[in-house]
Structure 1
Amino acid sequence: MHGNKFDPKKLQRLNDPDRLKDIPPDIIHGKLNLDKAEVLVEIGAGTAFFSKVFLETFAAGTVYACDMSEIMIRWMEAHVVPKHPDIVPVKSTESFIPLDDSLADLVFMINLHHELEDPARMLEEAHRLLKSGGKIFIVDWLKKEMAEGPPVKIRWLSRDVKAQLIQAGFDNVRDDNGMAKHFLVVGEKGCCTR
């Protein structure tokens, strides 16, 4: 990959259990106010590390683990699917996820937003994928200097991501900067939105 994209040669970093300390799934789950999520879609799933975690957290039936990288898709097929048949790798593009409209209860992106060339387009795509009342959450690096993560210049402020979600048609959008290295932004697809 090039530019702002994650280098698939470093994919083992994505499987580091310490990521769960930086991005605690139970805290995210608590902020979602979502009792049940049968179908999940992770955009930018990488090695499906968080797909596996949230499959268990929500006792979901299916997680569509979407990624642009053919290397990541093949890795998931070889290393994840045999143990987790409810995780379905899906080859996506920068602005299109080949799944049906109104399919998901929850769409999520973790440490992807800063890589997107056209975040607005991907958020519209996430909106399309969600059922009425479905939720989205985005976790990404705080826009501040730290030893880890991408260059600060390509990071987003949570308030800007919040504004992008509202522009894409999401309701009840809120942000949370309670994690040490990351922000969380949550939104909902209203019952009567486009």
Structure 2
Amino acid sequence: MAHLFDPNHVTRLHDPERKSFQDPALLLPLIRPFDRGDSAEIGAGSGYFFFPLAEVLSRRGTCHAVELQPGMVEHFNRELGSKPFRDLVRTVLSEKDRIPLPDGSVEVVWMVNVFHELTHPREIFSEIFRILSPSGQCLVVDWMKEPTPKGPPQEERKSEVDLYDSLIAAGFVKIRSHDLYPYHYVVEALKN
């Protein structure tokens, strides 16, 4: 089984230095415009990416914070606290290879620093494909498979080519990379 981030080390996710190499605001311009619809982060963790994106996307619909680990859900809910958009956020405890959201119910899905933790990436991307609307968009950010000053051990990381293979196998089209972060690749995939 792939190594999952330990919820006991959640303070690392909010290290102020993180913004210098992985600023959530840089991902927002990649999200395709849509008037109304829900969004979801797979592996929302402590909300480092979720909260800045939900602040904008909650104006369009419900933002689903999907998480596998109950300890991370507890931490996320504490962080959600009194945020002004909290009534438009839904925390979702997922199963290992199943995302409990309806077919075609989400306009955009993003996943940050989770791909390298997936035991069955093709199954998860098939689930993401299933929950996306016909015009849905998936954004994946993960650690490059090369030495970096931060991040998991290189042997635990997966390459960008591995990600493309998983997305293609799930049925995604129009897959392309974006150069946003120094230690991470960013890949966008469209359902249609």
TM-score normalised to structure 1 length:
0.88
Q: 1:172 aligns with which of 164, 174, 181?
A: 174
SS at match of 2:136: strand
Structure 1 residues 1-194: aligned runs within 5 Å? 4-36=3-35, 38-58=37-57, 59-83=59-83, 84-190=86-192
- The alignment partner of 2:13 has SS state of helix
Percentage of matched positions with identical amino acids: 30
- Deviation of 1:36 (Å): 4.5
Equivalents in 2 of 1:162, 1:172: separation in Å?
A: 11
Deviation at 1:3, TM superposition (A): 5.1
Helix, strand or coil at the partner of 1:21: helix
CA distance in 2, matches of 1:3, 1:171: 27
* Cα pair 1:55 1:61 within 8 Å, conserved: no
C-alpha distance in 1 between matches for 2:79 and 2:25: 25
**Quick one: which amino acid aligns to residue 71 of structure 2?**
I
Q: Separation in 2 of the partners of 1:33 and 1:3?
A: 31
Q: C-alpha root-mean-square deviation of aligned residues, in Å?
A: 1.9
Q: Distance in 2 between the 1:139 and 1:32 partners?
A: 13
Give the deviation of 1:14 after TM superposition: 1.7
Please say which of residues 9-18 and 159-168 is displaced more in the overlay: 9-18
Q: CA deviation at 1:132?
A: 0.7
For residue 66 of structure 1, give the secondary structure of its aligned residue in structure 2.
strand
How many positions carry a matched residue from both structures?
189
Pairwise CA distance, 1:37: 6.2
Of 117-126 and 172-181, more deviation after overlay is shown by 172-181
Which runs of structure 1 show a deviation greater than 6 angstroms over 4 or more consecutive aligned residues?
none
Matched to 1:16, the amino acid is: D
Q: Give the deviation of 1:60 after TM superposition.
A: 3.7
> In the aligned structure 1, how far is the partner of 2:13 from the partner of 2:146?
21
Aligned equivalents of 2:23 and 2:33: distance in 1? 16
The C-alpha deviation readout for 1:36-84, integer Å capped at 9, x for no partner, is: 4631111111112211111124344221101111111122223315422
Amino acid at match of 2:109: V
Mean CA deviation greater in 80-89 or 115-124: 80-89
Counterpart of 2:29, as a letter, is G
SS of the aligned residue for 1:54 comes to helix
The one-letter amino acid paired with 1:31 is L
Call closer, same or farther: CA 1:74–1:135 in 2, change over 3 Å: same
Structure 2: how far apart are the matches of 1:20 and 1:103?
31
C-alpha change, 1:162 and 1:177, in structure 2 (3 Å) is farther
Q: Would you say the 8 A contact 1:52–1:87 is kept in 2?
A: no
Q: CA deviation at 1:114?
A: 0.4
In structure 2, the gaps of 5 or more residues are none
Letter in 2 for 1:135: Q
